[in-house]
Amino acid sequence: MNVAILCNENAGRALSPEDLRKRVEQAGHTVLSVAKPYDAASAVTDPHIDLVVAAGGDGTVATAAGIVSKISASLAILPLGTANNIAGSLGISAPLTDLIDSWPTAQRVPFDLACARTRSKEWLVVEGVGGGLMPAGIARAQAEQQAQEDMSATAEVASAVRTFQDALLDLEPRQWMITIDGETVSDEFLLVEVLNIPSVGPNLVFGPDADPSDGYFDVILAQECHRQELLDYLNAVADGRAARLALPRRRAREVIIASCTELHIDDERVDACSLGEIAIRMERPIIVLV
C-alpha cells in the first residue's frame, strides 16, 4: 500500500519518524511521505496515496481525518497518545507492529465526521462538542499544568481525572438553550456533550453507547441531580475501577447551541459568547481501518 504518515513525536508513547518509516516499509508498504510539523491545512495531494496513517494521539488522528475527508484514501490509526479516545472507540489497541501488518486485510468501517459552524468560523468535529464540566476541567488542568514527563500514561490519566473531579465540585449549573433536531431544550445543566464517540478528555466515557459509525450524535445532558453520579464515576475512574454512567441521552443529526458559554470542540476551548450560535451537524463519513 502507498502510505502517507502524520507522526507526532511528542505523543505519550513517542516513536521517531525514522523508526516508524522503517517499521512500515518492513511490512511491505511504500512510504510516500512522513510529516512531523503539520496542521489541518497540510496538503496531501498525491493521487497514489492509499492510506493516511495517524501516528499519535487524538489531535493527530483528528488532523489526519480532516485530510482523509478531502482525498480518496482511508485512515489508519497508530495510537501513541495518552488517552487515545478515537482509537478506543474503534477497538484499536493491538501492538503497533500487528496493526501495521494488518492493514492490507483490515476491516474497513465508516467513521462519522461532523462540522461545527458559527457565522464566522467552522471546525471539524471528530470527538465531540460540549460545555460545563469538560471545558472547566480542561481549564483547570491547563492552569495546574499537571502532566509530568515522568508519569506513566495510566498515572497521567488518573491525575487528570482527579482534576476534573475537583472542577465538578466547584461547578455551578448554568442555563442552556439547545436545539436538538429541531426541538428546543432550555434548562440548567452541569454538563452538555454532543458526542460522536463514547469518551472525551482523559478517557471519560460520558456516552457509553455512542457509535461513530451510525450517523448520529449522542447528546448527553447532566443536571444538578446527576452531580453525585458524576462524582462517583470520576472517583472510580481515577482509582482504576470499572464504572458506567447512565446520564440522559438523546440522539441527533444536528444540534444548535445558542448559550453564551465556554465550549470544547474536540480538545480546543472556544468562547461561544464571542461567536454566537453554534450549529453542529453530521457530515460525510470517512473510511478507517480497524
pLDDT tens-digit series, residues 142-191: 888 755 556 788 898 999 999 999 999 999 999 999 999 999 999 999 99
Sheet with 254-257: strands ordered across: 122-125, 114-117, 278-282, 254-257, 174-180, 183-189
Instruction: Give residue 11's pLDDT.
Output: 67
Report the DSSP pairing between strands 2-7 and 51-56.
parallel
Distances (CA, A) of 276 to 55, 102, 121, 255: 35, 45, 10, 14
Structure-model confidence comparison of residues 59 and 42, the more confident one:
59
Could you say which DSSP state residue 240 is in? T
Number of other residues whose CB lies within 10 A of the CB of residue 231: 13
Mean pLDDT calculated for residue range 202-211: 97
**Cα angle for residues 165, 166, 170 (degrees, 5° grid):** 115
pLDDT (0 to 100) of residue 35: 84
Residues in contact with 165: Cβ distance below 8 Å, sequence separation at least 6, in sequence order: 231, 234, 235, 238
Q: What is the pLDDT of residue 15?
A: 74
Q: What's the pLDDT score for residue 145?
A: 72
Q: Cα-atom radius of gyration of the chain, to the nearest Å?
A: 19
The average pLDDT across 4-11 equals: 83
> What does the pLDDT average to over 16-24?
91
pLDDT at 151: 74
Which pLDDT value is given to residue 150?
66
Closest CA to 95 of 74, 80, 108, 81: 80
**What CATH code would you report for 2-106?**
3.40.50.10330
Instruction: Determine the 3-state secondary structure of 21 from DSSP.
Output: helix
Q: For residue 186, list its beta bridge partners.
A: 177
* Cβ-proximal residues to 78 (8 Å cutoff; 6+ apart), any chain: 15, 20, 53, 54, 55, 56, 96, 99, 100
Return the pLDDT at 102: 96
Task: Kindly report the backbone phi and psi dihedral angles of residue 225, in degrees, each rounded to the nearest multiple of 5, phi listed first.
Answer: -65, -10
- For residue 238, give the C-alpha cell: 481515577
* Dihedral, 161, 162, 167, 168 alpha carbons, nearest 10: 80
Strand partners, 194: 129, 219
CATH architecture assignment, domain 115-284: Sandwich (2.60)
Q: Domain extents for the chain? A: 2-106, 115-284
Burial of 166 from C-beta contacts in 10 A (0-12 / 13-18 / 19+): middle
pLDDT tops 70 at residue 38: no
CA distance 239 to 232: 11
pLDDT in tens, 92-146: 999 999 999 999 999 999 999 999 999 999 999 999 999 999 999 999 998 887 5
Q: Encode pLDDT of 207-264 as tens digits.
A: 999 999 999 999 999 999 999 999 999 999 999 999 999 999 999 999 999 999 999 9
Query: Which residues, including other chains, have CB under 8 Å from residue 45's CB and lie 6 or more apart?
Result: 71
Q: Across residues 7-27, what is the average pLDDT?
A: 83
Give pLDDT, residue 95: 94
